[in-house]
Structure 1
Amino acid sequence: MKGMSSATYRRLGRSGLHLFPLGLGTMQFGWSADEATSHGILDHYAAVGGNFIDTADIYTTWTPGNPGGVSEEIIGRWMKARGNRDDIVLATKVRGGMGQNGQDGRGSIHQREGLSRRWIIKACEDSLRRLQTDHIDLYQAHWVDNQTPVEETLAAFTELVRRGYVRYIGCSNYSAWRLMQALWTSDRRGLEHYVSVQPEYSLLDPTRANFERELMPVCVEYGLGIIPWSPLGGGLLTGKYRRGQALPDSVRAGEAASRLTEKNDAVIGSLVSVAERHAARPAQVALAWLLAQPAMTAPIIGANSTAQLDDLLGTLDLTLTPDDLAELSGASDWTRARTELER
């Protein structure tokens, strides 16, 4: 199987967790991949040494008849059937509204979301039940909650760690100043610290600039692990989407097409060029570029089949040269793009 020979586990920031260099995202479980397919993907990932599985309680509230928690339930049944819980670094998230489209049966959120102490503890207990486990290795704030003081959120996470329900805490979709506020609060109050950040990060414009301008320096300075979501830009960096060409049949084709600007098409052109030199795929090159970035732990990939997963695992057998990295960084350079816009 691909990915086994050169895979080196990476430490998640300053924590004691060591992750396979490609995390397995599970948003598609119960959405574009049924349970049998999902279990096959999980089996294949584990067989090559993959140990980092990332999910969220709200996956997938946006599909018809789905109140959330389906992805967690599929993972829970898989771990129970395989008896492999101790081999897995299990990550999930809290914040979003549960229920169909984030609403309860009365058409409102009705206190079933957020980062309050009440909801964090309730949501964690529910996730543990769905996952059929007694602890979560990495429990993450999915995004900020402007209605709850950061002290309350971090105190609730700290209580979960002290109860043994959670081993480490992280955050996702935080700005640099929100992350600094959380780190300062943890220091002042003697509370658990976030050990990782899960941002949107890829070669695409503007996601690269959004992360690298302020958030990346904070992660590097304070030793937080980086586990980016959408490292392939929702499929855009697979090379299947080009300007002037018909869209492929995909549930995310419309989203990808909306980001296919002239600049991003040039980035894809560079990916294709580098991939051809290595007899690789553009997606593998995009992931290999990410793995070469400072403080990077494990980009989170998704797959709808074992064949698709195997293609992405081929990234771990690919070594980009300094010239390759420079070409890709130059094509997606946000400093130059910003300067040109200011002229």
Structure 2
Amino acid sequence: MALGGVQDEATSFAILDRFLELGGNFIDTANCYMFWIEGGTGDESELLLGRWFAARGNRDEVVLATKAGRRPSFPGGGLEHSEPLSRERIGAALDESLARLGTDRVDLFWAHRDDRETPLESTVAGFDDAVRAGKARMVGASNHTAWRVERARSAAAAAGAAAYTAMQNRYSYLKPRPEAVLPEGGHVHASPEDLDYVAQTPGTALLAYSSLLSGAYVKKPLGEHYAHPGTDARLRVLDEVCAETGATRNQVVLAWLAGHDAPVIPLVGVSSVAQLEEAAAGVALKLDPEQWRRMSAAA
């Protein structure tokens, strides 16, 4: 997310180069990253990736995803002024993203939020247009609940349109308090119902963002929304498994996420090559079934 915004171009390119060297290929961005930084417009991340693709000539080596729906409708606006997910705006947003990315298509195009002020049929039609035009290979829903994804999939089926094949919600090992309002506006935390939905719906998956809680497992305060007894219990078990495996907290968390029966794909944002290499080792780590069950049962 922060590439092209917080990180300088040389660091960003080094991270992306090393990512491919390590065997990675999925890159997830959005048409609004990083509008919230000083002087930010929302173009930063996509433009950085476009320059990297042009410099390296490697667009075909990457499974590329971007999103529409959270870009402020005017400069200086906030999330409360997010662009609508209407048919017309979806098409325009994708064309703008493709121009910034320097490509003619993305592999996965996300609805960045659940826009309940726009008729669902208009949203479904907009994402279907993208697929039919060859500008997106698949479409997905970020920050949606499972029942809203299913409603959209049903509307798509009735219209003979492209349907969402993936969800992307906030999900990590530690759980916020029930009903806690997360400080990051617009984040929707994956629920047990979401996990059950992707487990029982062939051809779908859950992509987990904020998988490492922006560094809170190792270097930042968790925040009051994680202040409950379950957090302490889970951290104790997490540290036990770290001692057993010789892995870091971040690595064990990523291994736990990847070990779900439901198809869960952890997304990681990094600010250095060292952080990337640590995360790659975590995704490769395999917990034994007893360790995974023990971590999951902690509460």
Alpha-carbon RMSD = 2.2
Unaligned runs of 5+ in 2: 180-188
Q: CA deviation at 1:31?
A: 3.4
Q: CA deviation at 1:108?
A: 8.5
- Asked if residue 285 in structure 1 is aligned to residue 264 in structure 2, the reply is no
Q: Secondary structure at the match of 2:265?
A: coil
- Asked if residue 226 in structure 1 is aligned to residue 193 in structure 2, the reply is no
From 6, 10, 14, the equivalent of 1:36 is 10
* Aligned AA (2:230): K
The count of corresponding residues between Structure 1 and Structure 2 is 288
Q: CA deviation at 1:183?
A: 1.1
Range with greater deviation from structure 2 (304-313 or 204-213): 204-213
- Asked if residue 164 in structure 1 is aligned to residue 134 in structure 2, the reply is yes
Separation in structure 1 between the aligned mates of residue 106 and residue 17 of structure 2, nearest angstrom: 20
Separation in structure 1 between the aligned mates of residue 150 and residue 11 of structure 2, nearest angstrom: 40
Q: Secondary structure at the match of 2:67?
A: strand
From 28, 37, 58, the equivalent of 2:32 is 58
- Asked if residue 82 in structure 1 is aligned to residue 56 in structure 2, the reply is yes
* Aligned AA (2:238): L
Residue 235 of structure 1 is matched in structure 2 by 215
Q: Secondary structure at the match of 2:157?
A: helix
Q: Tell me: CA distance 1:293–1:56, structure 2 relative to 1, closer, same or farther (3 Å).
A: same
Q: CA deviation at 1:35?
A: 1.7
Separation in structure 1 between the aligned mates of residue 170 and residue 239 of structure 2, nearest angstrom: 22
Q: Tell me: CA distance 1:143–1:109, structure 2 relative to 1, closer, same or farther (3 Å).
A: closer
* Aligned AA (1:78): W
Structure of greater relative contact order (alpha carbons < 8 Å, 6+ residues apart)? 1
Give the TM-score normalised by the residue count of structure 2: 0.90
Deviating 4+ runs (over 3 angstroms): 107-112, 206-210
**Superposed counterparts of 1:90-169, under 5 Å:** 90-98=64-72, 103-104=74-75, 113-169=83-139
Residue 186 of structure 1 is matched in structure 2 by 156
Unaligned runs of 5+ in 1: 1-26, 241-247, 333-343
Deviation digits for residues 149-173 of structure 1 (CA, Å, limit 9, x no counterpart): 1111111111111111111101111
Separation in structure 2 between the aligned mates of residue 300 and residue 80 of structure 1, nearest angstrom: 24
Deviation digits for residues 173-221 of structure 1 (CA, Å, limit 9, x no counterpart): 1112211110110111111011111011112124899634311222122
Q: Secondary structure at the match of 1:160?
A: helix
* Aligned AA (1:57): N
Identity of aligned residues (%): 38
Give the TM-score normalised by the residue count of structure 1: 0.79
Q: Secondary structure at the match of 1:214?
A: helix
Separation in structure 1 between the aligned mates of residue 177 and residue 119 of structure 2, nearest angstrom: 28
1:201–1:208 contact (8 Å) kept in structure 2: no
Q: CA deviation at 1:259?
A: 3.7
* Aligned AA (1:92): T
Separation in structure 2 between the aligned mates of residue 37 and residue 282 of structure 1, nearest angstrom: 24
1:103–1:109 contact (8 Å) kept in structure 2: no
Q: CA deviation at 1:103?
A: 3.6
- Asked if residue 314 in structure 1 is aligned to residue 281 in structure 2, the reply is yes
- Asked if residue 199 in structure 1 is aligned to residue 169 in structure 2, the reply is yes
Separation in structure 2 between the aligned mates of residue 177 and residue 75 of structure 1, nearest angstrom: 33
Separation in structure 2 between the aligned mates of residue 176 and residue 108 of structure 1, nearest angstrom: 26
